[in-house]
Amino acid sequence: MSIWYSKREKDGKKSLVGVDIPFPLIITVLGLLAAIVGTRLFNNPSQLVIDAFYLVAFGFLLLLISKVSLFAKGIWISWGYSHMSKYFRFVYIFGYILVGIGIIILVAYKS
C-alpha cells in the first residue's frame, strides 16, 4: 500500500510523491488497535466511552496547539493548515484523526 500526495517544489513545479507503507505494518497496527478496543469493549464498556472522550479532548488540544502556532505568527484567521510548518501540519492532521476516531467510537457505542 502507498500514500500519494502532491508536493510543490521551491521553483513552483508540482510533483507527485508516493510513500510505501509495508502491508505487515498495517496488519500489526490494526491488530493492536483491535486488541486494545476489544478488551475494553468486553471487559468494561463504560471505560471505552471514557477513552473516546479522552481521544476527542486530546484531539481538540492538538488542534488548539497547532492554531496557537499561527497566532504567534500573527495569522488570526485561517482555514486548514496551509500557513503552518510541517510539524504543526502533522499535529493538526493528527488532532483531526483523534477527534474522528473518538466520535466514531462514541456513535458506534450508542447504536
Residues 57 and 9 in one domain: no
Residues 12 and 48 in one domain: no
What is the reported pTM? 0.64
| Percent of the chain topping pLDDT 90 | 8
Phi, psi at residue 44, to the nearest 5°? Answer: -150, 90
Q: Where are the alpha helices (DSSP H) in the chain?
A: 23-43, 45-73, 86-110
CA nearest neighbour of 84 among 61, 58, 57, 63: 63
Residues 34 and 63 in one domain: no
* Distance in angstroms (rounded) separating the CA atoms of residues 91 and 66: 6
Does the pLDDT at position 53 exceed 80? yes
What does the pLDDT read at residue 61?
94
Average pLDDT score over the chain: 81
Residues 75 and 105 in one domain: yes
What does the pLDDT read at residue 1?
63
**C-alpha cell recorded at residue 30:** 490494526
Strand partners, 6: 16
Q: How confident is the model at residue 111 (pLDDT cuts 50, 70, 90)?
A: low
Taking residues 62-68, what's their average pLDDT?
88
Bigger pLDDT: 74 or 53? Answer: 53
For the chain, the domain total comes to: 2
